[in-house]
Amino acid sequence: MHAYLQTYQRLATVVVSKKFDVNHALDCKKGGLVTARHDEVRDELRDLLAHVFSPSRIRCEPMINPAPMRANGTKIHAPSASSSSDFLNAHRGDLLIRGFWEGSTDTIIDVHVTNLDSKSYKNVPPKKALERQEKEKKKKYCKPCENQRRHFAPFVISTDGMFGFKSRAFLKKLAKLLAEEWEKPYSTVRGFINAQWSGAIEHKGLLFHLD
């Protein structure tokens, strides 16, 4: 509770121009809450994957496009030192897994947590909003990953725990891998995964509502 109080006090100093309510807390990039929410989803994924894959086959923040290419095939040179940090961050995924979908092929996962109650999605059905986020991720990152013979998997989830289509497909595959690894029925393992995510979402919601 002391940590929550400190966070609230910090937010009080940065949120001055808008009313501080739940919606604002879920969207505001000041104070570090959006980043913490994103990282919690990434870490939950990494922990689940670690039950199947060895540490050497999981990597955090992989470069999506180490050598960016223009449409005509020429390389895009790295920017000046002053903007190189932004350049690298904009072209990194959240996780890389070796052999998730097939053989020794790498899969890059990019996590996106979206607030379906925000003004931009006010008149958009939840499934459509999540689908839009997935399409935007794929449009941006699929081609660079394919150029390196890698798979790309957008992992889109809402702040209240609704998964995008690709996210559900990813978790279904992960459940099958875990069932094989543990020699347990698929239904049992899927129940375990659902419980893990329920706990993470509950904790995440508690964090953001208390803050």
Residue entry with tokens 């509502």: 209
Q: What's the predicted TM-score (pTM) here?
A: 0.75
**pLDDT at residue 210 in the model:** 39
79 and 87 Cβ atoms separated by less than 8 Å? yes
Low-confidence ranges of the chain (pLDDT < 70): 1-32, 66-90, 201-211
Where in the chain are the domains? 19-66+79-210
CA 74 to centroid of chain Cα atoms = 30
**pLDDT at residue 87 in the model:** 47
Distance separating alpha carbons of residues 166 and 99, to the nearest angstrom = 18
**pLDDT at residue 203 in the model:** 63
Q: In what order do the strands lie in the sheet with 58-60?
A: 58-60, 95-98, 106-114, 151-158
Token pair for 184: 């347990």
**pLDDT at residue 10 in the model:** 53
Three-state secondary-structure class, residue 175: helix
**pLDDT at residue 122 in the model:** 82
- Provide the H-helix boundaries in 71-185: 84-90, 126-147, 165-182
